[in-house]
Structure 1
Amino acid sequence: MNNINQPITAASGLNHFYSKVYLFFAAGLGISGVASYLAATVFRFETINFVNNFPLGFLGLWIVQLILVLVLSAKAKKNPSLTIAGYIVFSLLMGLTLSITLMTYNVGTIAQAFAAAAVTFAGAALVGIFIKKDLSVVGRVGIIGVWGIIGVSLMNAFFFHSSGTDFFLSILTVGIFAGLTAYDNQMIRHYYQQNQGENTGIAAFVALQLYLDFMNMFIALVRIFGRND
């Protein structure tokens, strides 16, 4: 009887872990959404002033967020409380930086980009959850692609200033992060099995990965839809 119940118990535990990951994911989006709205409207002047006076400005904020992601990846398993707190701080910072980006686009463009990002993310997530094929290669190629996009984006920002390059990179970004969304969703099962059950810190960190997948697609789609704004 115990052997019969084991697969059912394991499936129930995995489903609960998925639910916890997506609860963190939704919470992060909500925090960023509220922070972004307030920063772009109620505290618009203070936000612009803060970013202008921050070391390295907008780029400095992105560097801080990158460092935070690296710290959370190292502490996720050992310190769940720190990981959750870091995830909240990251979501707030992303809302702040996102507000600066969205100030240059109209509401219609933002709504279209969000809808397109949500549909793309959901489709890629379902592929990752249900596909049987190992997506490790997709994950490795995606990570290489991300670093490539970062490198070319920096070169374009400081040297080339090409709108065509920026548009191409935006399209490429959507494709790469759609692939990473599928890979990261498949990895949820791996994390669950690796930790022999639920781990709140790991759940928060996996949610952060999904959050980054969605946000990067969303920002890229804003740039694609908002070329004429």
Structure 2
Amino acid sequence: MSEFDRQNYYGTYNEEAGLKAYITKVFTYMGVGLTITAAVAYLIFHSLITRGTLARIFFFSESAIYIQIGLLITQIVLVLSLNAAIRHLSKGVCTALFFAYAALTGITFGVIPLAYEVGTVFQAFIFAAILFVSCAVIGHVTNVDLTKYSGILFGGLVALLIASIASIFIPVLRNNLLIAYLGLFIFMIYTAFDIQRIKQFYYMAVNGEEEREKLAIYGALQLYLDFVNMFLYLLRILGSRRRR
């Protein structure tokens, strides 16, 4: 093998190893975020069934409705901040914002076992994990460039949002599982799409290791949102079937 060939081989090898390590880091951040959400959700659930301090603060106090609205607004602000200013924030701030969002999501998730059976919640989580991993693998290995269809995916997301809002006021839509299946399908596609974008982030980061770290956190947030939404739509589907 010539000197040129050896350099090309080792360059390619190092690049692939770097990308693999980067994707592993993204999934690690995502895993930590999900762990925080699960831990906080368990604390809230336990507090709810024991009428503990957390439950009295977030759900049974006179200002509970304002606290819930404040939590929702704070979650939106955190996501928008990461989306809009990811390159201008430090790595520490990005990490803190992501983990804070995960913790706030855990507060709202604490009521889920009260609305659905624990077995249904567990089943939805397992199915969501299987679908998520499958879609992530497809996005990683496929030769189809899904990022070219970002406009179509965004349009589908907007349509899903409009349908979800309409279902609040239209009982027929509220009780129809079509929206749940549509949402599940859209976020399955988004999972594969986001995996390809994360690979692009690795090559886009040209301003040093800190920028790559921040993009890894941003990628973890996108995958976290994909998984959470898939879980929620599956929970709605499975929960509806159990009530029949």
Q: Size of the alignment, in residue pairs?
A: 228
Deviations along 1:129-163, whole A, 9 cap, x unmatched? 01111102443322222222222212222x21336
Contact 2:58 2:68 in 1 (8 A): no
Does the 8 A contact of 1:153 with 1:166 survive in 2? no
* 2:162 equivalent to 1:182: no
Distance 1:155 1:47 in 2: 31
CA distance in 2, matches of 1:135, 1:108: 35
Return the match for 2:222 from 203, 209, 219: 209
Which of residues 146, 168, 177 is equivalent to 1:167? 177
Q: In the alignment, does 2:76 pair up with 1:69?
A: no
Question: Are 2:184 and 2:233, in contact at CA under 8 Å, matched by a contact in 1?
Answer: yes
The answer for unaligned runs of 5 or more in structure 2 is: 1-5
Bigger radius of gyration: 2
- Give per-residue Cα distances to partners, 1:6-52, cap 9 Å, x unaligned: 11111111111001000001101111011111111135543364156
- Displacement of 1:74 after TM fit? 2.4
Tell me, what secondary structure is at the counterpart of 2:47?
coil
The CA RMSD over aligned residues, in Å, is 2.1
**Could you state the TM-score of these two structures normalised by the residue count of structure 1?**
0.90
Bigger drift between 50-59 and 5-14 goes to 50-59
Cα gap change, 1:90/1:188 in structure 2, threshold over 3 Å: closer, same or farther?
Answer: same
The CA deviation at 1:86 is 0.3
Helix, strand or coil at the partner of 1:77: coil
Gaps of 5+ in 1: none
Residues of 1 paired with 2:160 and 2:25: CA distance?
Answer: 31
Q: Name the aligned partner's letter for residue 33 of structure 1.
A: A
Indicate which of 135, 140, 146 corresponds to 2:157: 146
Q: Is the 8 A contact 1:54 1:60 kept in 2?
A: no
After superposing the two structures, state which structure 1 stretch, 160-169 or 124-133, moved more: 160-169
